[in-house]
Amino acid sequence: MIDLHLHSTVSDGSETPEELVIHGCRVGLKAMALTDHDSLDGVEAFLAACRAHGMTGLAAVELSAAVGEEKGSLHILGYGVDPNHPQVSERLGRVRAGRDRRNHEILARLVGLGFALEWPAVEQASGGDVVGRVHIAQAMMARGYVASIAEAFERFLARGRPAYANRYRLAPEEAIGMIRAAGGAAVVAHPFSWEQDEAKLEAGLRGLKELGLAGIEAYHSDYGAETTIALLRLAKRLGVWVTGGSDYHGKAKPNLQMGKGYGSLCVPDEVLPPLLQALGADTPWVAKEDGKAVRL
């Protein structure tokens, strides 16, 4: 069992990178990837923990790409990215600055709606470097304004709701270009979040393949067998490989389990070797034992 889509306290998860590795060992994972939103700040601690516990671990990042307000959300996973590459520092710096502006705009809108919220309460809720809407929702819960994170999004924070504000995102070509320049492999996460019509999705993915897209996430907690089969067939038509993961966040998604999603997720071990091969044997951004990736 492997899980190549996990979030830590560096972004919007509830467990530290080290805690994720311990959790992964406990539930029987053989390989895992840290895919925090817009940040690679946790990868060194994550990989160190993987080496200490004999876990195959991949450094990764999840980026939201700009596709227009009328579209769905396009998320691109970058596996094996060098966090010290100049393009990574510059482009993620722009994204983080955009997040910060958006967070303060959302907070101002909530204050205008009558909620007494201040920035320190949101920062305290985050516990990490990347602050997002989920942390604003947690601050609202702490004040008793909403009963759950889901309620905060449904009533105030989701797109089209009164406190929603858009944020700066990299263009798809910028995101994929940065991942490739930094030695990584680009994969579209949960593809049907971008486009639900399969023919339109295929056309869009073909365009991204021309930019250097390497794979798509066919196995995901939100996808049943029929959807996964459709994505496996789509990947074969496109000539790209597939990955999979739970999209685990911990307490933010309490019913979603690492490695198992909502109970039926099973990412096959065989999706990992093509990814490791693409990243190369010499990459320092994959946890190894004795010079080799941990065997599955």
Domain count, the chain: 2
Quote the pLDDT of residue 99: 86
Report DSSP state, residue 261.
B
- Answer whether residue 39 is part of any domain: yes
Claim to verify: residue 60 and residue 180 sit in the same structural domain: yes
Claim to verify: residue 109 and residue 81 sit in the same structural domain: no
Q: Which of 157, 185, 203 is the last residue of a domain?
A: 157
Quote the pLDDT of residue 53: 94
Mean pLDDT along residues 237-246? 97
Claim to verify: residue 104 and residue 213 sit in the same structural domain: no
Domain holding 100, by residue range, is: 93-157
CA distance readout (Å), 149 to 144, 146, 156, 158, 160: 11, 8, 10, 11, 17
Mean pLDDT along residues 67-96? 90
Quote the pLDDT of residue 128: 60
**Over 80: is that where the pLDDT of 223 sits?**
yes
Helix, strand, or coil (residue 200): helix
Claim to verify: residue 50 and residue 7 sit in the same structural domain: yes
Claim to verify: residue 196 and residue 273 sit in the same structural domain: yes
- Answer whether residue 28 is part of any domain: yes
CA distance readout (Å), 170 to 16, 176, 281, 293: 26, 9, 29, 32
Phi–psi pair at 125, nearest 5 degrees: -65, -30
Order of strands, sheet of 185-189, starting from the edge strand that comes earlier in the sequence = 2-6, 31-37, 56-65, 74-79, 185-189, 215-220, 241-245
Per-residue pLDDT tens over the stretch 23-32: 999 999 999 9
Confidence of residue 200 (pLDDT cuts 50, 70, 90): very high
Per-residue pLDDT tens over the stretch 129-140: 678 888 899 899
Mean pLDDT of all residues belonging to the chain: 92
Claim to verify: residue 125 and residue 235 sit in the same structural domain: no
Mean pLDDT along residues 48-72? 90
- Answer whether residue 110 is part of any domain: yes
Quote the pLDDT of residue 178: 97
- Counting beta carbons within 10 angstroms of the beta carbon of residue 134, is it exposed (0 to 12), middle (13 to 18) or buried (19 or more)? buried
Q: Which of 60, 64, 91, 95 is nearest to 194 (CA)?
A: 64
Quote the pLDDT of residue 124: 79
Claim to verify: residue 56 and residue 124 sit in the same structural domain: no
Claim to verify: residue 21 and residue 143 sit in the same structural domain: no
Quote the pLDDT of residue 28: 95
Claim to verify: residue 74 and residue 108 sit in the same structural domain: no
Claim to verify: residue 16 and residue 129 sit in the same structural domain: no
- Answer whether residue 166 is part of any domain: no
Phi–psi pair at 134, nearest 5 degrees: -60, -35
Quote the pLDDT of residue 292: 52
Quote the pLDDT of residue 166: 87
Q: Is 54 left (phi over 0), alpha (psi -120 to 50) or beta?
A: left
% of the chain exceeding 90 in pLDDT:
76
Mean pLDDT along residues 110-120? 90
Claim to verify: residue 80 and residue 99 sit in the same structural domain: no
Is residue 215 within 8 A of residue 109, CB to CB? The reply is no
Quote the pLDDT of residue 131: 81
Per-residue pLDDT tens over the stretch 138-147: 899 999 999 9
- Answer whether residue 58 is part of any domain: yes
- Domain with 147 in it: what CATH number? 1.10.150.650
- Answer whether residue 164 is part of any domain: no
- Domain with 22 in it: what CATH number? 3.20.20.140
**Over 70: is that where the pLDDT of 219 sits?**
yes
